[in-house]
Amino acid sequence: MKIKIGTRASQLALWQAHYIQSQLEAAGAETEIVAMETRGDKVLDVALSKIGSKGVFTEELEEKLLNEEIHIAVHSAKDLQSDLGPAFEIIAFTEREAPDDVLISDRPVDLSQPLVIGTSSVRRVAFFKRYYPHIQLVNMRGNLQTRLRKMREGQCDALALAYAGVNRMNYNGLIVHRFPLQEFIPPVGQGTIAVEISVSLDEDTKNFVKSACNNEITEKCLLAERAFLKEMNGGCSIPVFGYARYTEEGIVFQGGITSLDGQNRILVEQTGTEPAGLGRQAAFQVLENGGREIMEEIKSGRGE
């Protein structure tokens, strides 16, 4: 069996594709990696929230899935839109790395002092405004290496990033702060890799890939998170967050939404055993307790 693996062309995306490749080859498959740039990779001078919130990093890869140019597409799970539509499905989530956010810099930083921090995430911007209102934020797009170059050119003092990406690129030595999960609650999917297919993919290949790559505990957590995100119906312009962890009592899910200035945060925590139902129930609770008003305010532009 030969499996063509589609991926973005950045170093981090290729690391993820090679990781999936190693899982497939260990299970006995031949593989080929097909790398490409997506719209999100090409448009770097505009904030993600301004160039479209759905499919920014996935559309071109999905076209190749439909055209059968590739068998699977490998993504950071946090980059996948909540509703893939009827033509696609996710069949595997890898074991999750630590999901927290970190700050990286070439020098020690003191978060109690004025700083300039680069980030492209509206969620992180909102949390910085909530917990560190004295810090100046600048929009920082591009792959990790591009952002590091911009930081070293003096555009910011430090970068706010996901630990998983920093770790995969071996930049752990630059970590100067790890944000507590109770403050900087992660976005849905942070820390895990997702494998997407066209629903027309043959069952033998589908089952092979799932068996080789899927982590069942991560899958249960991500099904809850993604059900939450789908019910919230947000996007890159909405600071929605959600994180599930697996315990002996079941899946513990924390999720919510914050206003763009970080001052109004709706947060719920629920435990359950049925992932999708848990995520939907949490979303309903968030929306009914002020989340809907926050979302409408942001979408109307009044939350700017």
3-state SS of the chain: helix, strand, coil percent to 5? 40, 25, 35
Task: Give the number of domains in the chain.
Answer: 3
Q: What is the pLDDT of residue 303?
A: 55
**8 and 88 share one domain:** yes
> Quick count: other Cβ atoms within 10 Å of Cβ 283?
26
Strand 175-178 vs strand 101-104: parallel, antiparallel, or unpaired?
antiparallel
**91 and 9 share one domain:** yes
**43 and 84 share one domain:** yes
**270 and 137 share one domain:** no
Q: What is the pLDDT of residue 46?
A: 47
Q: What is the pLDDT of residue 37?
A: 77
Is 221 part of a structural domain of the chain? no
| Residue-by-residue pLDDT tens, the chain, 304 positions | 899 999 999 999 999 999 999 999 999 999 999 999 766 554 444 444 444 445 556 888 999 999 999 999 999 999 898 899 999 999 999 999 999 999 999 999 999 999 999 999 999 999 999 999 999 999 998 889 999 999 999 999 999 999 999 999 999 999 999 999 999 999 999 999 999 999 999 999 999 999 999 999 999 999 999 999 999 987 778 999 999 999 999 999 999 999 999 999 999 999 999 999 999 999 999 999 999 999 999 988 755 5
Q: What is the pLDDT of residue 33?
A: 97
**7 and 86 share one domain:** yes
> Quick count: other Cβ atoms within 10 Å of Cβ 110?
9
Return the active site residues.
78-79, 123-124, 141, 147, 236
pTM of the model: 0.91
Is 41 part of a structural domain of the chain? yes
Strand 250-258 vs strand 240-247: parallel, antiparallel, or unpaired?
antiparallel
* CATH code where residue 115 lies: 3.40.190.10
For 49, the domain range is 2-95+192-214
Is 187 part of a structural domain of the chain? no
Among candidate residues 7, 61, 11, the one with its CA nearest the CA of residue 165: 11
* CATH code where residue 281 lies: 3.30.160.40
**44 and 156 share one domain:** no
